[in-house]
Amino acid sequence: MEQLTKEQFIKAFKAQLHTDYLVDNNEATAEEHFRTLGKLIKQYVMSDWLRRRDEIVKEQKKTAYYFSIEFLPGKMLQTNLLNLGIYDLVSEALADINVDLAVLVEAERDMALGNGGLGRLASCFMDSLPTIGAPGFGNGIRYKYGLFKQRIVNGYQVELPDAWLPSEGSVWETKKPHSAVDVKIYGSVYLAPQEDGALKPIYENVKTLHAVPYDVIQIGFNNGVVNNLRLWDVELPEKYELDYQTLADRRRVEDITSFLYPDDSSRDGQAMRLIQEYFMVSAGLQTIVASYAKMHLPMAKIHEKVAVHINDTHPAMAVPELMRILMDDYGVKWDDAWATTCKVMSYTNHTVLSEALEKWDTGLFKEIVPRIHQIVGEIDRKFVKEWVGKVDTGIIDRTRIVQNNQIHMANLAIIGGHSVNGVAKLHTELLIEDVLKEFYVLFPEKFNNKTNGIAQRRWSQIANPGMSTLLDDLIGKGWRSNIHELSKLEEVLTRSDVQTSFYQVKQANKQKLADYVKKTLDIDLPIDAIFDVQVKRLHAYKRQLLNVMHIIKLYQDLKADPGLEMTPRVFIFGAKAAPGYHFAKSVIKIINELANLINYDTSLNDKLKVVFLENYNVSLAELIVPAADVSEQISTAGKEASGTSNMKFMMNGALTLATLDGANIEIKDAVGEDNIVIFGMDKDAVYAHYDKHDYNSRAIYDSDPTIKRVVDAFIDGTIPNTHYEGHEIWDALISYNDEYFLLEDFTDYAEKQAYISALYQDKPSWQAKVIKNIANSGRFSSDDTIEGYAKDIWGII
């Protein structure tokens, strides 16, 4: 790539604006400026992109394909500028011609083709793969509507469509019509015996879809590597237009890529979702096998050049689809196809919640993907045959793919691959000991752990420029390319000038967030208060309600004694609820009404504030995370597979208040137990309740007056306008025995919160802990995580 000068850039920028929009620089809108800059960036990396592609083809490098139904990149302008090493140059050049880069950054739409942690992790990996120079590409769906936009109306969540895609398309993508492939669904298949004894599938009445790829550039950090995220869109195939005669027929096809399903942890088997999954898997794999075929190597050895990763169960049809392509399109025999398929495929499990492990009704499956249904039946039959007599039949009954007319996608991904990984140490242990223990009996060698990580450049350099400048001054700039150099902070963490500097950066970030809150909600936040943050999807197991119970307690304490000495607190929430998740929506309503009650009660003297920020997304996270003093990671132990916001907060100098769950445990190991605040039951204590069936929330409620007072606040009229929701919550906690053990953990939680309040008064201690956290956050870099995948699972580096 050529070295760019400011003058060249300005000239190119003005010329491009003129060509595309026929405007001069000073008349252009922010949107036009943004698109022009995006286009220039794409042109700037084009030679690297093409070179990279040729290199991989010429050198026949083994390549990994990360199949994921979700990607959640957020905005990409700043990351791209930073990774290209032209951030300052462009920012200064634009300033010279009176254009503010910050305004352009605002103009970019958030690309939210994901629900939460899983999609965001996929995007962190898309940043890290080119950064470590690994040939790894994404494969997903180009949804026209991303995750819904959340508005709060009268305290309730309202969902609006997220029309993120401009009519001209995203600036970061390139449409590749010549790489389109056909995907067949519905119809029926029978196997016609051939002269040589082989069986040839004959399709009847199928619907053919045209899959068109859009390639999104993924730029490595400072290394000239550009990879590719391939997102598939559906179009009507001209050749088969007679199959789609009515407008309704056409619309049904267009609907396939029209929106992302908004549930993060449960699925109720909609046909359209199954079609989305097959569409993406089939289009991706057809292309991959076709490019392998161009190498003229034996088809039965495709695993030597190709790795396919199944991110959660959603792309698990990759296993039978690769079998289909190898056998039906390339004439490979079953045994050879199976052997290579198992070596190509690997699977990450992201949850222990059984409702999130997909199961498809066999009837629906057979109707939509008849050939895949046949192949899955055969894989299942052969699996049973292989293990009969070797292990207990109960094990086979519970690990086979087809059970009670349902197809178990996790079982398919495990049986049809060579690797199964969890996303944090505890999570992988739970898979082995509990959730997947019978698979561990059959295939112990497949199991491994890959603790999640985060794209540290986005979550430090981009989201927190104030802290970044401070770090440059204290430890030099080396940390910007080698995040492990953050550990140099260990030497200065007790220096009072250093502590003051970190404090000042934090206060400035809090002010920025307070300004946003003032502008959007017209609430004044005192920045000398502790900013206590819980941002993540709304789910019962994540226990936003435990946080709420503690706020109620503080409110009651203050009402009882207005003179009470208390470190002021601002509780900040951000959370989307799945549209059909009734309980979660009730919690949102409760938080908003509680916020109204507290924020306008002058008798509390600004000691307590509660804000619910609507439409939590990646961009908002970039504003919130650097402003947090306390990071709430309070899931019931054993339930949160990993969590990743916990890592982002730590890197930005928040103290973690946590249960021993997911990656919280590894954060504790990294910083030491004095530098994190742990409370509540651990996983063994939780499991002991499961085993003994001895949990009794009503007994706790009856015997603990504080808890009783807090829980009763949901139904005694304390919180206005929540008659219905309050009873729903009270019932969940008491009548239905508090599935997530909030009552048992409450007392310890409240005590640790009190400890945090006291600690915050002791600035030197607090700041030393803050700096200790930043110093040890390097180990949660997704560059390192992906290196583990690339070496141990995919064998590509």
Stretch that binds ligand Z16, among 160-168, 178-186, 636-644, 679-687 (CB under 6 A): 636-644
Asked if 710 contacts 557 with a C-beta cutoff of 8 angstroms, the reply is: no
> Can you tell me the distance from the alpha carbon of 473 to that of 479, in angstroms, rounded to the nearest whole number?
11
Toward ligand Z16, which CB reaches closer, 111 or 121?
121
Q: Work out how close the CB of 314 gets to ligand Z16 at its nearest, in angstroms, rounded to a whole number.
A: 9
DSSP code string of 648-660:
HHHHTTPEEEE-S
Q: Work out how close the CB of 636 gets to ligand Z16 at its nearest, in angstroms, rounded to a whole number.
A: 12
Q: Residue 356 interacts with ligand Z16 (CB under 6 A)? A: yes
Q: Work out how close the CB of 633 gets to ligand Z16 at its nearest, in angstroms, rounded to a whole number.
A: 10
User: Can you say whether the dihedral through the CA atoms of 111, 113, 115, 116 is positive or negative?
Assistant: negative
Tell me the β-bridge partners of 209. Answer: 183
- Find the binder of ligand Z16 among 74, 643, 680, 726 (CB under 6 A): 643
- Residue number with the smallest Cβ distance to ligand Z16: 117
Closest listed residue to residue 51, CA positions, set 189, 214, 227: 227
> What is the phi/psi pair of residue 234, to 5°?
-100, 140
Q: Work out how close the CB of 3 gets to ligand Z16 at its nearest, in angstroms, rounded to a whole number.
A: 39
In the set 542, 585, 609, 772, the catalytic residue is 542
Q: Residue 744 interacts with ligand Z16 (CB under 6 A)? A: no
Any catalytic annotation for residue 350?
A: yes
- Find the binder of ligand Z16 among 233, 321, 622, 640 (CB under 6 A): 640
Helix (H), strand (E) at residue 530: strand 530-535
Asked if 322 contacts 341 with a C-beta cutoff of 8 angstroms, the reply is: yes
The residue with tokens 């909030």 is: 742
Q: Work out how close the CB of 395 gets to ligand Z16 at its nearest, in angstroms, rounded to a whole number.
A: 24
Closest listed residue to residue 777, CA positions, set 626, 621, 620, 661: 626
Any catalytic annotation for residue 542?
A: yes
In the set 350, 373, 506, 550, the catalytic residue is 350
Binding mask 258-277 for ligand Z16 (x = CB under 6 A): ------xx------------
Q: Residue 644 interacts with ligand Z16 (CB under 6 A)? A: yes
Buried-state track 500-518, b at ≥16 Cβ within 10 A, e below 16: ebbeebbbebbeebbebbe
In the set 303, 536, 576, 589, the catalytic residue is 536
Stretch that binds ligand Z16, among 349-357, 478-486, 506-514, 522-530 (CB under 6 A): 349-357
Binding mask 97-136 for ligand Z16 (x = CB under 6 A): ------------------xxxx--x---------------
Q: Give residue 146's identity as a one-letter amino acid code.
A: G
Q: Work out how close the CB of 640 gets to ligand Z16 at its nearest, in angstroms, rounded to a whole number.
A: 5
- The number of residues that bind ligand Z16 (CB under 6 A) is 19
Buried-state track 340-351, b at ≥16 Cβ within 10 A, e below 16: bbbbbbbbbbbb
Count of CB atoms within 10 A of residue 674's CB? 10
Any catalytic annotation for residue 644?
A: yes
Any catalytic annotation for residue 693?
A: no
Q: Residue 140 interacts with ligand Z16 (CB under 6 A)? A: no
Q: Residue 547 interacts with ligand Z16 (CB under 6 A)? A: no
In the set 457, 648, 683, 769, the catalytic residue is 648
| 524's tokens | 């004044």
Any catalytic annotation for residue 537?
A: yes
| 39's tokens | 């286009």
Buried-state track 705-737, b at ≥16 Cβ within 10 A, e below 16: eebeebbbbbbeebbeebeebbebbbebbbeee
> What is the phi/psi pair of residue 637, to 5°?
-55, 135
Toward ligand Z16, which CB reaches closer, 356 or 474?
356
Q: Residue 642 interacts with ligand Z16 (CB under 6 A)? A: yes
Toward ligand Z16, which CB reaches closer, 117 or 568?
117
Toward ligand Z16, which CB reaches closer, 131 or 635?
635
CA distances from 247 to 234, 240, 244 (A): 16, 15, 8
Toward ligand Z16, which CB reaches closer, 317 or 475?
317
Any catalytic annotation for residue 200?
A: no
Residues 422-481, interacting with ligand Z16 (CB under 6 A): 423, 452
Residues 370-389, interacting with ligand Z16 (CB under 6 A): none
Q: Residue 598 interacts with ligand Z16 (CB under 6 A)? A: no
Asked if 585 contacts 547 with a C-beta cutoff of 8 angstroms, the reply is: no
Q: Which residues of 135-266 form beta strands (DSSP E)?
A: 136-141, 149-153, 156-160, 173-175, 181-185, 188-193, 199-204, 207-219, 226-235
Q: Work out how close the CB of 658 gets to ligand Z16 at its nearest, in angstroms, rounded to a whole number.
A: 13
Residues annotated as catalytic are 350, 536-537, 542, 644, 648
Residues lying near ligand Z16 in the complex (CB under 6 A) are found at 115-118, 121, 264-265, 312, 350-351, 356, 423, 452, 640-644, 662
